Each structure stands twice: as structure tokens, then as C-alpha cells.
């Protein structure tokens, strides 16, 4: 299994409503009527995965995530129709044509050359099955640009420079091309959400749960607090708190594909 950050489900869920909206928008475009087997690849703490039980009342739902911490948080949600297990997307395989719906939400952006995984996902689908993908597309936003710039300066660069880098992510057109080549009918789009976040230094609190986590974990204890203070100060300038909250524009990319009937 790949080495990945140690995720903190509590930090991640500080803005659970905002993080959950793209998942709902993604699942809303899946037209599966009565699937029997649904898999959520990269299920995180499981709260969104659990909503699939109501979406498809007769389905067996499985959540898979590479983070033991996330799966531990998800386990109390498990029941006779919902299970969770630790697993890596690189190593995940399923019997051919065994799954009705695969959802992967805010996960593939961490994986270089993620498009190479798509044929395996499609093979796992039954004819007429559905694959739904959502990834952040905000790598050029100030939150990430400031992170990369600061991580590349001393005294942080020795530990953190490489941890701030992210793979390039596909756009909608690339998903259309890749999934169409696998015999799917594809609906792909992008949306920029305008999240209004509550709390002090809200964007710092947001990225501490996701994009900044690998950098912060790479730093020795004596540098981590200093880095967080500098990073937070610059984020406060880029995303000032107003009387109505802190505005965080956040671009996301979606693709929903249906495998053609044999």
C-alpha cells in the first residue's frame, strides 16, 4: 500500500456540509434505479457513504479508504447493508462485471496518472453500470500557491518542498475522452462553489484537513507551529474574514459515466 498522510477525521469534518455538497451533486447525476452493489472508493469517514443507503434502499454498499483513521471513524456507521474496509485504489480489484455503481469522491486527485485506473473501474461494472468521479480542481488557487511557495523556502524546504506538490488533474474533456474510449457514455462538467466559512482563519482550518496536511506532517514539531502561523497569516490576507464569513471559491471537476450494455 502507498504511503499516505495520516488523516484526522475530526479536522476533515469541520466543514462537513461544504465538503458534502459536491458529493450530493455527483450522486444526483447517477441514474441507476435499483443497483444491488455500490462501492465508494475513498470513502473517508463514511458519513457521505452512509447517505447512499437512502439513495438506493435495496443496495449493499461498501466503503473503501486507504486511511485506517478514516475507516475507524466510519465503522460505527456500518450495518447489514453498509461495510467499510481499508484498501488502496492502486491495489483494488473486483470481479469483472460485478458492481452496479462505483463512486469515488475527492480521492483521485492524490494519484498521479489516475486515468490509468479508469479501465479497471469500468471492467468492474456490470453492463449498464455507473462510475461517478469528483475531484478538486483548485490547484492554482491562492490556498495552494501560498502553500507551495512557503514550503519551498527555508527552513521548511528541506522537509516540505516535495510534500506541497500535487499531480496535475484531468479536466472534463480528458475524462470524456478516457471514459468514452472504455465504451461509456459520459457526462462531465466543472463547478466553482462559493463556500462561506465560519470561524477564525477559516481557510487555514479547511486546508489543515486536506491539502496542507502532507506538508504539516512532514515538518518537525519545532517548525510546524511556525509554518502554520506564517501560512495562516498569508491565508488571512488572501481570504479575509468579512461580516458574513470567509469566502472560499473552490473549483471541482465531475464525471459520470455509464457503461454501455453488451
Per the structure block, which three cell numbers stand in for 186? 459520459
pLDDT of residue 6: 63
**pLDDT (0 to 100) of residue 1:** 41
Please report, for the domain that includes residue 241, its CATH number: 3.40.50.150
- Angle of helix 221-238 relative to helix 142-151, nearest 10 degrees, comes to 140
Q: Is residue 2 part of a domain?
A: no
Whole-number mean pLDDT of the chain?
Answer: 92
Cα–Cα dist 70/216, whole Å:
18
If one counts the domains in the chain, the total is: 1
Within 10 angstroms of residue 34's Cβ, the number of other Cβ atoms is 9
Q: Establish if 245 belongs to a structural domain.
A: yes
In a domain, 61, yes or no: yes
- Predicted model pTM: 0.92
End-to-end CA distance of the chain: 34
pLDDT at 167: 76
Please write down the HEC assignment for all residues of 16-78: HHHHHHHHHHHHCCCCCCCCCEEEEECCCCCHHHHCHHHHCCCCEEEEEECCHHHHHHHHHHC
User: Does residue 1 lie in a domain region?
Assistant: no
Domain assignment of residue 21, given as a range: 9-259
Let me know if residue 250 belongs to a domain.
yes
CA angle 20, 9, 231 (to 5 degrees): 90
* 228 in any annotated domain: yes
- Each of the 262 residues of the chain gets a pLDDT tens digit; together they read 444 556 566 665 678 888 899 999 999 999 999 999 999 999 999 999 999 999 999 999 999 999 999 999 999 999 999 999 999 988 898 988 999 999 999 999 988 889 999 999 999 999 999 999 999 999 899 999 999 999 999 999 999 888 777 778 999 999 999 999 999 999 999 999 999 999 999 999 999 888 788 899 899 988 999 999 999 999 999 999 999 999 999 999 999 999 998 7
Q: Is residue 129 part of a domain?
A: yes
| 3 is a domain residue | no
247: left (phi > 0), else alpha (psi -120 to 50), else beta?
beta
How does pLDDT run across 119-130, given as a tens digit for each residue?
A: 999 999 999 999
Amino acid at each position: 500500500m502507498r504511503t499516505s498522510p495520516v488523516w484526522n477525521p475530526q479536522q476533515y469534518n469541520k466543514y462537513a456540509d461544504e465538503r458534502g455538497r459536491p458529493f450530493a451533486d455527483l450522486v444526483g447525476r447517477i441514474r441507476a434505479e435499483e443497483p444491488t452493489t455500490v462501492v465508494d472508493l475513498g470513502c473517508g469517514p463514511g458519513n457521505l457513504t452512509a447517505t447512499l443507503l437512502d439513495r438506493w434502499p435495496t443496495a449493499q454498499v461498501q466503503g473503501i479508504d486507504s486511511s485506517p483513521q478514516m475507516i475507524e471513524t466510519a465503522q460505527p456507521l456500518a450495518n447489514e447493508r453498509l461495510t467499510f474496509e481499508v484498501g488502496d485504489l492502486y491495489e483494488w480489484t473486483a470481479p469483472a462485471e460485478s458492481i452496479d455503481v462505483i463512486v469515488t469522491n475527492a480521492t483521485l486527485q492524490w494519484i498521479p496518472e489516475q486515468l490509468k485506473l479508469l479501465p479497471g473501474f469500468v471492467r468492474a461494472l456490470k453492463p449498464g453500470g455507473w462510475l461517478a468521479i469528483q475531484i478538486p480542481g483548485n490547484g492554482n488557487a491562492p490556498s495552494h500557491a501560498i502553500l507551495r511557495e512557503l514550503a519551498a523556502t527555508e527552513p521548511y524546504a528541506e522537509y516540505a518542498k516535495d510534500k506541497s506538490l500535487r499531480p496535475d488533474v484531468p479536466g472534463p474533456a480528458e475524462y470524456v475522452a478516457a471514459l468514452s474510449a472504455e465504451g461509456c457514455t459520459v457526462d462531465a462538467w466543472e463547478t466553482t462553489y462559493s463556500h462561506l466559512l465560519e470561524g477564525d482563519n477559516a481557510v487555514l482550518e479547511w486546508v489543515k484537513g486536506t491539502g496542507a496536511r502532507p506538508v504539516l506532517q512532514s515538518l518537525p514539531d519545532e517548525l510546524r507551529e511556525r509554518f502554520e502561523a506564517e501560512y495562516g497569516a498569508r491565508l488571512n490576507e488572501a481570504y479575509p474574514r468579512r461580516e458574513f464569513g470567509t469566502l472560499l471559491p473552490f473549483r471541482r471537476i465531475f464525471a459520470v459515466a455509464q457503461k454501455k450494455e453488451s
